Amino acid sequence: MESLDALTSLVAGGGVVVLSGAGLSTESGIPDYRGPSGVARRHTPMTFQAFTRDPLARRRYWARSHLGWRLIGGAAPNAGHRAVAELQRAGLVDTVITQNVDGLHGAAGSTSVIELHGRLDEVTCLDCGNLTSREELDRRLREANPDFVARVAGVNPDGDVDLPDEQVAAFRPVDCGICGTGMVKPDVVFFGETVPPQRVTRCFAAVEQARSVLVLGSSLTVMSGRRFVIRAAKRGIPVAIVNQGPTRGDGHATVCVDAPLGVVLPQVAARVGAGTPLGV
């Protein structure tokens, strides 16, 4: 495949900055609500404004999130994540910028990961700033809602279906363990919230130093990620996109590969000699 050859030679040149999105984690069982293969988004996403102003919205968020965490907390990295880590160990990939909040790049062994939209496995208190692990919060939520998951799991196969109002009403969110208020929020960037400027600056700096930018599994629908592709193109830095379906960055790309990431990335890693087990 001609595009696979072009992709391979770009990666072999080193100095690659990866920009990954939800499509990279679908093979780990995490649904991509935006992607063409994902189920249609049935909810308008929770906004930061609704979350902070409306206690009922917060209760609804935590009830749904408590179910969704069963899926995300138990997910493992797939062949695509592992190939990225192998390319990094081979010295070909420098920084990994990810729009995903699942922590799977780190779990696969990647380093220098910038988590653009934060991490779902960390929880912050908006009042006192206390940072705790989701695991700890999950333990407290399970204690406060002992049979909640078992009761509603049957009607919530993907963790993102409408919860009936009576189920939401029965859910008991927990307060911050330190200051005792109810304003605990996963340490992720909500809609209506901006990415911390320092984090964006670090991403732009990485992109500008890159020899190429490799987009993995993002339709680049939102400007939050697309701006890095636009910047690279403006600076004459080649952009390669591996995604299932067209993306809003295709016009800026020198190479587009429309194929499953878990197939393409291990092939690229093998072709450039990364990922060969030690001693072989």
Q: Can you give the binding site for Zn ion, defined by CB under 5 A?
A: 125, 127-128, 130, 176, 178-179
Contact in structure between 94 and 210 (CB atoms under 8 Å) = yes
Nearer to Zn ion, 175 or 250 (CB): 175
Joined tokens for residue 14: 């080193």
**Count of residues in the chain:** 280
What's the min distance (Å) between Cβ of 125 and Zn ion?
A: 3
For Cα atoms 24, 102, 225, give the angle at the middle one, nearest 5 degrees: 60
* Token pair in block for residue 145: 């809602």
Q: What is the smallest separation between the CB atom of 101 and Zn ion, expressed in angstroms?
A: 21
**What does the angle CA 96 – CA 100 – CA 104 come to, to the nearest 5 degrees?**
70
Q: In what order do the strands lie in the sheet with 118-125?
A: 131-133, 118-125, 184-188
Say if residues 134 and 186 touch (Cβ distance below 8 Å): yes
Whether residue 80 contacts residue 215, with contact meaning beta carbons closer than 8 Å, is answered with no
Q: Which is nearer to Zn ion, 56 or 128 (CB)?
A: 128
Q: Are 163 and 152 in contact (CB under 8 A)?
A: yes
Nearer residue to Zn ion within complex by CB, 124 or 145: 124
Nearer to Zn ion, 124 or 218 (CB): 124
DSSP state of 2: H
Query: Of 181 and 209, which has the nearer Cβ to Zn ion?
Result: 181
The active-site residue, picked from 66, 81, 105, 117, is 117
Over its C-alpha atoms, the chain yields an Rg (Å, rounded) of 20
In the complex, least distance from residue 194 CB atom to Zn ion, rounded to whole angstroms: 22
- CB neighbours of 145 closer than 8 A, spacing ≥ 6? 66, 170, 171, 172
> Residue 131 Cβ, how far from Zn ion at the closest point, in Å?
10
Closest to Zn ion by CB, 102 vs 138, is: 138
Q: How far is the CB of 209 from Zn ion (least distance, A)?
A: 38
Q: Catalytic: 43?
A: no
Report the distance separating Cα 23 and Cα 120, nearest Å. 17
Q: Are 105 and 88 in contact (CB under 8 A)?
A: no
**First-to-last CA distance in the chain?**
28
Catalytic positions: 117
